[in-house]
Amino acid sequence: MKETAALLKKLGLKETNSGVFCGEWLGSGPVLKSVSPIDGKVIAKVRQATPAEFEKTVCRAQAAFQKWQTLPAPKRGEIIRQLGNALRDSKKDLGRLVTLEAGKILAEGEGEVQEMIDICDFAVGLSRQLYGLTIASERANHRMMEQWHPLGVVGIISAFNFPVAVWAWNSVLAAVCGDSTIWKPSEVTPLTAIATIKIAEKVCRANKVDPAIFSLTIGNRQSVGERLVSDKRVALISATGSTRMGRAIGEVVMRRLGKVLLELGGNNAIIVAPSADVKLATRATLFGAVGTAGQRCTSTRRLFVHESLVDEVTRQLITAYKQVPIGNPLDSKTLMGPLIHLESVETMQSAIKQLKKEGGEVLYGGEVLKGKNFPGGRYVTPCIAKAKGDFQIVHEETFAPILYIISYKSLEEVVAQHNAVPQGLSSAIFTNDVREAEYFLSTRGSDCGIANVNIGTSGAEIGGAFGGEKDTGGGRESGSDSWKNYMRRQTVTINYGRDLPLAQGIQFGDAV
């Protein structure tokens, strides 16, 4: 407890914390307890937003946007550069808090903060590359071009499994684009959000800019979530979470003709082809399926193995699974920590029952761990199961470490099974046959937003746009040209001649 108290103090946190930031710290709503999945104990408390405080946050974010959008983009980028450096200084402490609150192992906690640092670096370069286009006009003495302007207030809704990185993917790109942001973090991980915003606040104040460009409102769906997505003053809602949540948010935002960016569920698969490097495929599958206790949207959930290799791959995976150290994620030797909720454990057990009901077989794991080394009831052994591609449970995303192994005969057959699920986030094939790799990447191949060859489904870099198709929502966050989500496009035509020709050769007479 003393170590936890010292960590909270270093990050500017107290026993009870204000859960609203809009240039000032507020929070007079119901008290929320942050419970660590490591042992089920309360870390600290947070006072959530009231309706009046939410309203004040939106107003302050609007006012901050009006000033921030006029600051030249490279100067906005300089502030984000300083934010990246501030996150570097707090990497170990903030990463440890991610572990304490979300249950990730220490390496993944610090890795998540590194993602924030990396996206800050990306955004700094982007601040000098917000390019438009010059377009050839069909009319003489005319010039056409497109330019991009700041969008406005951006609402960010993040999930527990990446409690800070998803905020950074959205907020720092939005910031260099000239927007202000309002963050609604998961109610399960409020302390990491408060600590992150405190770091951003210091950077903003040091540069004499309104820190309300990085606003925060902690609250439940009724007090904050529904208000945020239905507010016409919020130009874009970027939401990360379940498909069910995304459908509800999308309907509300589209009803008011707002913009929405959805990054939702994944049911990600690896295909192990006959020519694959089996050792490489096994290592990638182990991290993809067991990392973050199977609670990443990019976690590997389905493993299609060619019938000639299925026995060998299964044997190697079971051997590897038996060697995974499970326990307190604050221990540097641990590779798999707890599930986030007791409900998550129940969901995992329910999925295993459904698997058996459909004719599947558990080959290893799936037990709930008990005893003094596994307090709180959230620890399980990762599960390997034998299944078929058309099982109903295989088509569902169970946010837990269950890996379904499915044998296949031909590439065309396995790609069809791969694409048959509702989700379309991340995918991979392990092969040393260039024709198989190219088929998998072709229009007839993977239908996912991410398609990899000889690397797993998990661990995307920030330089590429992140997201997927179908029930994954179609949104793209992080790198590439995803910055366009946070700006409004404007097509401009300039007539520098003395005539007024119309497009498409239309003649309208000489009445004037």
* 3 assigned to active site: no
State in Å, rounded, how far the first CA of the chain is from the last one.
83
Number of C-beta neighbours around residue 497 at 10 A: 10
The residue annotated as part of the active site, out of 53, 108, 201, 263, is 263
With the CA atoms of 314, 319, 322 and 325 taken in that order, what torsion angle do they form, in degrees rounded to the nearest 10? -110
Q: Which residue has the tokens 């995918």?
A: 427
Show the 3-state SS of 297-365.
CCCEEEEEEECCCHHHHHHHHHHHHHCCCECCCCCCCCCECCCCCHHHHHHHHHHHHHHHHCCCEEEEC
Judge contact between 158 and 337, C-beta under 8 A. no
Tokens at residue 112, please?
A: 């998540």
Structure tokens at 85: 């450096």
59 flagged as catalytic: no
Helix 73-89, helix 91-102: angle, nearest 10: 70
Please report, to the nearest 10 degrees, the dihedral formed by the alpha carbons of residues 331, 337, 338, 344 taken in order.
Answer: 170
Q: CA-to-CA distance for 160 and 164, rounded, in angstroms?
A: 9
Helices (H), 141-297: 165-176, 190-206, 226-230, 243-255, 278-290
Q: State which amino acid sits at residue 389.
A: G
CA distances to 16, 21, 53, 188 from 31, in Å: 8, 16, 15, 13
Exposed (0-12), middle (13-18) or buried (19+): which is 506, by Cβ within 10 Å?
A: exposed
Residues 6+ apart with CB under 8 A from 143: 134, 137, 493, 494, 496
Out of 297, 383, 397, 436, pick the active-site residue.
Answer: 297
> Can you say how many angstroms the Cα of residue 318 is from the centroid of all Cα atoms in its chain?
30
**What are the helix and strand counts (H, E) for the chain?**
14, 24
Which residues, other chains included, contact 386 with Cβ-Cβ below 8 Å and sequence gap of 6+? Answer: 314, 360, 361, 363, 404, 405
**Active-site residues: which are they?**
263, 297
